[in-house]
Amino acid sequence: MEIIPAIDIIDGKCVRLIQGNYSQCKIYSEDPVSMAKKFEASGLKRLHVVDLEGAKSSRVVNMRVLEQICKSTGLTVDFGGGIKSDGDLRDVFNAGAALACIGSMAQTRVEKVLEWIDLYGGEKIIIGVDSWNTKVCIQGWKKVTGTTIFELIDRYKERIKYLMCTDITRDGTLEGTAVNLYADLRKRYPLLNLIASGGIGGMEDLERLAHLGLYGAIVGKAIYENKITFAELRGRF
């Protein structure tokens, strides 16, 4: 299982939220590039970068940070937050991202996202499903839709390779991951490479996800709060 550290960006800084609440924002580093280098030096290969300002404002805000991370490291970077247009997506790839994570647009502009998948390939586009009690959330988690995550995934399951699902109720809480949800998703969509996100608080959570056969797990606050150390991760997955 791939361990994928997360760098969430507001105002050019590395931050974490609790359950997507922008008023509960904690700064962990003034320099996301240095943080990315630290992840790479620890032996990690992947990185999940989220432009939180972009997700909230529906436009990419922190493109320069993405460019600097990609130029300064050899990490395989996926980027999400504020990608709304053909130009946005092109710029993300030109900045050096290996994959783009599409969230709100996957719900609101299905035909456009399918067009992007056809253009760039299913291996370059991650469908990012943000779940609040299995209902899809959009616009930086500010709006809960009436669509279930399963209805959304069904629109794309034949065309994509990667699916990222965030349980917002657990995100940033360190209270444990939504094992039952991911077990259900694995059963429903066995051919998709499933990436879990939200609530991971220790190595036991990662062990549970690995046991389910997940492709990857996003780890954010647990690393920043030293609930999971690089030494513990080394050689485990």
Q: In 3D, which of 201, 204, 212, 194 has the Cα closest to residue 236?
A: 204
Q: Which two tokens stand for residue 117?
A: 């998948």
Catalytic option among 78, 130, 171, 205: 130
**Of residues 8, 51, 78, 205, which has the active-site annotation?**
8
- 90, two tokens: 């092109």
Compute φ and ψ for 8, nearest 5 degrees: -100, 130
130 part of the active site: yes
* 8 flagged as catalytic: yes
Task: State the Cα–Cα distance between residues 233 and 209, nearest whole angstrom.
Answer: 14
Q: Is 67 helix (H, G, I), strand (E, B) or coil?
A: helix
Strands 99-102, 76-80: pairing kind: parallel
Check: CB of residue 95 under 8 Å from CB of residue 82.
Answer: no
Q: Where are the alpha helices (DSSP H) in the chain?
A: 32-41, 52-57, 63-72, 86-94, 104-108, 110-120, 149-156, 179-188, 203-212, 221-224, 230-233
Phi, psi of 202 (to 5 degrees): -175, 175
Strands 2-10 and 46-51, by their bridges, are parallel
Q: Cβ of 222: how many Cβ atoms within 10 Å?
A: 22
Q: Which residues are catalytic?
A: 8, 130
